[in-house]
């Protein structure tokens, strides 16, 4: 299969998938290595295809006519051991955590996709962090201050999540 054909198959597969797909899965589908998939995804993104890399795999971001979700940035600060608590508080209130952003003293603004919407996804995210022995992005920021972009169907979900984070000593006002 030629590169253009493979990228079209990847695009169609991601567009039709109801869940994120890993580079390994896509590589097995197209009989190429994960590294080739990474390059193909980069080329598709360069053609303005709305594909994002999440901790669970690649996801095609469909634009549709469903009711607009409410999106907000919140500022948080906590010890690393409170990361799972922070994420669980948010998803327990019907909020999706899209990303984390920090201001690094050398690199400036850094962000990473999280894309967790429920406790199962939070657990999987935490397992991947632990297995990779990865450093939380917030640990690279002065004072561990970081931002999250959060999304919910209702303003009330965000308000309730913020109140719970404030009570837990995580939200910075």
pLDDT in tens, 119-168: 999 999 999 999 999 888 777 776 688 999 999 999 999 999 999 999 99
What's the predicted TM-score (pTM) here?
A: 0.72
Q: How many CB atoms lie within 10 A of CB 42?
A: 11
The predicted structure's pLDDT at residue 66: 58
Domain with CATH 3.30.1340.20 in the chain: 70-167
Using CA atoms, how far residue 21 sits from 12, 24, 34, 132, 164, in Å, is 12, 8, 12, 19, 32
Domain with CATH 1.10.10.10 in the chain: 3-60
Q: Tell the burial category of 169 from Cβ atoms under 10 Å away from its Cβ (0-12, 13-18, 19+).
A: exposed
- The CATH fold assigned to 70-167 is 3.30.1340
The predicted structure's pLDDT at residue 89: 98
- The CATH fold assigned to 3-60 is Arc Repressor Mutant, subunit A (1.10.10)
Tens digits of residue pLDDT in 57-107: 999 988 765 567 899 999 999 988 999 999 999 999 999 999 999 888 888
Contact 41, 25 (CB under 8 A): no
């Amino acid at each position: 299969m030629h590169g253009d054909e493979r990228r079209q198959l990847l695009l169609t597969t991601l567009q039709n998938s109801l869940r994120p797909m890993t580079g390994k899965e896509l590589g097995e589908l197209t009989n190429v290595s994960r590294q080739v998939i990474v390059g193909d995804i980069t080329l598709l993104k360069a053609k303005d295809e709305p594909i994002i890399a999440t901790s669970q795999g690649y996801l095609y971001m469909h634009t549709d006519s469903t009711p607009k979700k409410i999106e907000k940035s919140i500022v948080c600060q906590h010890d690393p051991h409170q990361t799972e608590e922070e994420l669980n508080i948010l998803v327990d209130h019907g909020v999706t955590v899209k990303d984390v952003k920090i201001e690094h003293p050398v690199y400036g603004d850094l962000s990473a996709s999280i894309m967790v919407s429920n406790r199962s996804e939070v657990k999987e995210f935490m397992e991947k962090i632990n297995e990779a022995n990865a450093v939380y992005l917030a640990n690279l920021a002065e004072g561990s201050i970081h931002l999250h972009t959060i999304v919910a169907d209702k303003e009330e979900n965000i308000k309730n999540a913020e109140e719970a984070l404030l009570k837990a000593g995580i939200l910075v006002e």
